[in-house]
Amino acid sequence: MTPNDAHQPLSRDAAVSVRDLRKTYADVTALDGVSFDIGRGETFALLGPNGAGKSTTIEILEGYRNRSSGMASVLGIDPHRGGVDWKARIGIVLQTSAEAGNVSVREQLSHFAGFYPNPRDVDEVIAAAGLTEKAKTRIKNLSGGQRRRVDVALGIIGRPELLFLDEPTTGFDPEARRDFWELIRDLKREGTTILLTTHYLDEAAQLSDRVAVIAAGCLVDMGAVDEIGGAEARIPIVRWRDAGGIHEERTHEPAAVVARLYAQRGGELHDLEVIRPSLEDIYLELVRDAATEVAA
């Protein structure tokens, strides 16, 4: 979406629609005009370094924070005015877990299920979150990763149309992360719209239909995971070293370049590499460019 889209009306069909969202604290600009739409059933990931504005954006959409200016619509409602009926249609997994020390996993989920008009089955959710063996354990006695799964379970117990996941897998071991991805794919198959923030690019790549990269309060790029940064950013790089230092050449024909260099030098090249930029490389480049722009 280009900056001009900030002036387009909110999309009524989208699950989430945001236009020119701004948030300023006393002397800090946390969000500096962000616009995007999330379609129904879409999984959308917000990527960005710490302090870029991911959590500010998600908390405005969850109704926890007021925006300074701009427009926002979540399931057709202004989140600032969202009432109990609106909250029954969303699920929230906050960045930090709440202490819910003295109740068991099942007690907590059964209690929260009662808040919603059409909740999921408590035992099914416990199983989906991989907590069946811990169902009778008090939450305070769980490990950090297990508590995080309770958070996720609480986020989906109400059968939300839209699920907010704010860095959901922080502290998970690799196996737990894969189980979690399966759970999210199941939700997706059921048609749940998901807004995810994460530090893990592989997670975004695994789960999301589209990603948006946010840096210093601005949207740097947005698109399918294999498209962000543009085609240019994906052109392979040939890198080698000689007496003059390290050289790089971007090319669609790396083999030809290597052959040419080999012919020119008449021998092996030092530290020769052919690099296909990974999502991480592209992401880091986007974020770095944004930082330089802000500095300039």
Partner 1 sequence: MKTVQLGISRIGYEVKTYYRQGDTVFFTFLFPVVMLGIFSVAFSGLGNVGTNPDGTGGITQAAYYLPGMIAAGILLSGVQNLAVDIAMEKSDGTLKRLGGSPLPVISYFFGKMGQVLVTSALQIALLLAMARLVFAVELPTDPAKWLTFLWVYLLGIFTSAVLGIALSSVPRTGRSATAVIIPIVLVLQFISGVYLAFNLLPEWLRNLASVFPLKWLAQGMRSVFLPDTFETIEPGGDWQYGWIAVALVIWLVLGLIACRMTFRWIRKDR
Residues that bind partner 1 (CB under 8 A): 25, 62-66, 84-85, 87-88, 90, 92, 94, 96-100, 102-103, 107, 111-112, 114-116, 154, 158
Query: Minimum distance from CB of 50 to partner 1 (Å)?
Result: 19
Measured CA to CA, the distance from residue 11 to residue 73 in angstroms comes to 8
Task: Report the residue number, 111 or 234, with the smaller CB distance to partner 1.
Answer: 111
Minimum distance from residue 92 beta carbon to partner 1 (Å): 4
**C-beta closer to partner 1: residue 163 or 212:** 163
- The minimum distance between CB 28 and partner 1, in angstroms, equals 12
Between 156 and 201, CB nearer to partner 1: 156
Q: How many C-beta atoms surround the C-beta of residue 171 within 10 A?
A: 15
CA angle 127, 132, 138 (to 5 degrees): 125
Residue 73 bridge partners (DSSP):
17
HSE toward the beta carbon, residue 195, CA cutoff 13 A: 31
User: What span, in angstroms and rounded, lies between the C-alpha atoms of 75 and 12?
Assistant: 8
Q: Which is nearer to partner 1, 49 or 63 (CB)?
A: 63
Which tokens sit at 246? 């390290």
| C-beta of 111 vs 250, nearer to partner 1 | 111
CB of 96 to partner 1, least distance (A): 6
Which residue do the tokens 């759970």 mark? 183
Q: Which is nearer to partner 1, 97 or 137 (CB)?
A: 97
Contact 273, 247 (CB under 8 A): no
CB of 178 to partner 1, least distance (A): 26
Which tokens belong to 17?
A: 């629609």
How many Cα atoms are found within 13 Å in the side-chain-facing hemisphere of 96?
A: 2
Q: Which is nearer to partner 1, 157 or 238 (CB)?
A: 157
Shortest Å distance, C-beta 21 to partner 1: 15
Q: How far is the CB of 123 from partner 1 (least distance, A)?
A: 19
Cα–Cα distance between 285 and 281 in angstroms, integer?
A: 6
Which residue's entry shows tokens 């799964």?
A: 149
Task: Give the span between the Cα atoms of 59 and 79, in whole angstroms.
Answer: 10
